[in-house]
Amino acid sequence: MGRWFSRFFKELNYRVFVYSRKLETADNVARALGVYSGSMEDAEDSDIVLVSVPWDALAGTCGRLGEKMKKGSALVEISAVKTGVEKLAESIPGHLGFLSIHPLFGPNAKGVKGQDIVMVLNRESPWVWTLLEHLEKKGAKLVIMSSRNHDRYMACIQSLHHFAILSLGYALKTCSRKAGFEEISTRSMRATVRNIRSMQRNLDTIAEIQKNNPYSREARELFLRIVKEFAEDKPEEWVRKLGKTKI
């Protein structure tokens, strides 16, 4: 996602610096994107610093960057899990803006037009407003939610969704291998396989959400209960339930 946002800012004519713990990675990524390779020290002069790291590294990274940043600038985090973000905001120096958003799209998204972005926390600063205006002008749909509501809802549309689709993929592979015939398919199965493969390219973030969203376990258990209920029902019964449910 760091690359995605680098492209986003570059298209807006910003001078973009990418930072990695490995200088070589930053150099390679910067070259590929046509931006600058930077260091943590560049945070001192930056107007907007966007942090795109795994959840476990978020507080430490924001803490180190926040110490360096200048008054009125914006520290932005994009984690897919929002529990604890209020505490994180409290640890960021008060002279900085702090924006906690969750872009509901992956690194392959073409642009931001028509995409949903959840905004969980906004401690204002001039550069926070500038970024929000850019996102709106480019056609993003900003939705405001509490961290609790965000994580509860993401447990449905991410945790449960990823879990169900990926376990289905695993079961499908086992089932078709056992049947000994994997060469032919249906249109709907091809669409499902495309979806599974796309999720397989994002397994780190998927695992992060399963592990750190406090409502993920509840969502997985709900899914298991329903699958068990359907499996034990007569097919007419669960088909009838589905027929009456608008999804």
Element (DSSP H or E) covering residue 148: helix 147-154
- Within 8 A by CB and 6+ apart from 3, the residues are 18, 29, 33, 107
DSSP label of 141: E
Residue with tokens 């020290």: 41
Listed ranges 47-55, 126-134, 180-188, 239-247: which one lies at the site for ligand NAP (CB under 6 A): 47-55
Supply the minimum distance, in Å, between the C-beta of residue 81 and ligand NAP. Answer: 7
d(CA 111, CA 105): 10
63 or 106: whose CB is closer to ligand NAP? 106
Supply the minimum distance, in Å, between the C-beta of residue 212 and ligand NAP. Answer: 9
106 or 114: whose CB is closer to ligand NAP? 106
The yes or no reply on residue 195 touching ligand NAP (CB under 6 A) is no
x-or-dash string of contact with ligand NAP, 200-239, rule CB under 6 A: --x-xx--x-------------------------------
Supply the minimum distance, in Å, between the C-beta of residue 77 and ligand NAP. Answer: 7
d(CA 225, CA 232): 11
- Both tokens assigned to 38: 């930077």
Q: Identify any residues that bridge with 144 across adjacent strands, giving them in sequence order.
A: 119
The yes or no reply on residue 66 touching ligand NAP (CB under 6 A) is no
x-or-dash string of contact with ligand NAP, 3-22, rule CB under 6 A: -----------------xxx
Supply the minimum distance, in Å, between the C-beta of residue 220 and ligand NAP. Answer: 18
Taking Cα atoms as reference points, which of 135, 139, 49, 134 lies closest to residue 96? Answer: 49
Contact 155, 218 (CB under 8 A): yes
DSSP H helices, the chain, are 2-11, 23-33, 55-68, 85-90, 126-137, 147-154, 161-179, 187-200, 203-212, 216-232, 235-243
x-or-dash string of contact with ligand NAP, 67-96, rule CB under 6 A: -----------xxx----------------
86 or 185: whose CB is closer to ligand NAP? 86
Contact 126, 72 (CB under 8 A): yes
- Within 8 A by CB and 6+ apart from 7, the residues are 33
Using the rule CB under 6 A, which residue among 6, 37, 46, 52 binds ligand NAP?
52
Supply the minimum distance, in Å, between the C-beta of residue 186 and ligand NAP. Answer: 28
The yes or no reply on residue 103 touching ligand NAP (CB under 6 A) is yes
Q: Interface with ligand NAP by CB under 6 A: which residues?
A: 1-2, 20-22, 25, 52-55, 57, 61, 78-80, 102-103, 106-107, 202, 204-205, 208
